[in-house]
Structure 1
């Protein structure tokens, strides 16, 4: 596994070069997967994790908003992104995904071994279908990178022609689509937006503390067992309409 992780650090394309102006919203919409027949969710692109898709649908219905972004994530969002993207690129879904990382913190090697209940863990070869662009943090440059990345996926020479493009994940670069946000200019268009503000907040699963009145001796005896519980704790993505819990092991 260590050799795989080391190799994985070199996998994932950098989308570099000149940024072209213009809206690619219609082009990206034409690539997105529509929900299966009989599905009641209006969310596009489809989220292949039922519990998470249900939360997104309920949120947008309650807020009377139309995505993008489908998910707006705050808090400790990187573990959530690794979990989601791993599910998207792995069997049985096998999508391609674009990540526009203005914070320069996304580590593609973390996708190996992450999984959701609805998929197999991502394999090393799946990482070739995650395309990472790292523009400057300014909103206009992030917005231009999202547009250029979508155009490159549609027309460029890349190795994901056999896969459907699920969409674009934007990390940083100002508030996502649909928000007021301040700072002027149009909002950044992405299918998932992760930053300081978002309706879905990610935190570590809470672990119950020592019982009230426990002595120092009792705490010391229980220390090793509790450390194992802390290390095995999962992650919780919480919103006003529901929460989603997952573990990577």
Structure 2
């Protein structure tokens, strides 16, 4: 499913198509001297923009799935750690120092600020937001490795319950590493496609939104601004994001 922001970009592209159709309906009177406002250029601009936005949409799905998969792996961890503390405390011979060392690691794991990549709401510094989140998950996985090391080096820690065993946490860590790597791998092409899309729609000298606004201005010079035809064109909105 496309995010609210992706819908916004797609709306600009769709409105460009609608605007172009209105110009075709005008017929011969639509005859700008500016080559960037001529119908052939507009058609090429629309086709390119549509294809770029489609590429973003196609790449968004695997990224969103990777983010959700990672979240499902990390989400139960806090509750599991609460039970792990009790299992560790019940281990024969565990000292107050060892228990405090465990609690220090658990507090770090629970206290890490978890900022899910907002695949549903793009912002201008989206790449930075992703990097911050990625670092957060990397840090948690690294801390989990410290937890595993503590359990391995605690004499008599060998619970019968599988959910508290060292092997279980090692498997969790490997799954988390794999999930985090998948998020990174799917974000790179998505971020590249978004950059290309933003350039084409908003940043280039001949970006779609600026051309659309100029074309609407030109339409005002050849149509009666009180006419239904012009009012229909005037209602077509374009927004830079």
TM over 0.5: no
The structure with the larger Rg is: 2
Q: Determine which structure has the larger strand proportion and give its number.
A: 1
TM-score grouping bracket, smaller chain normalisation: under 0.3
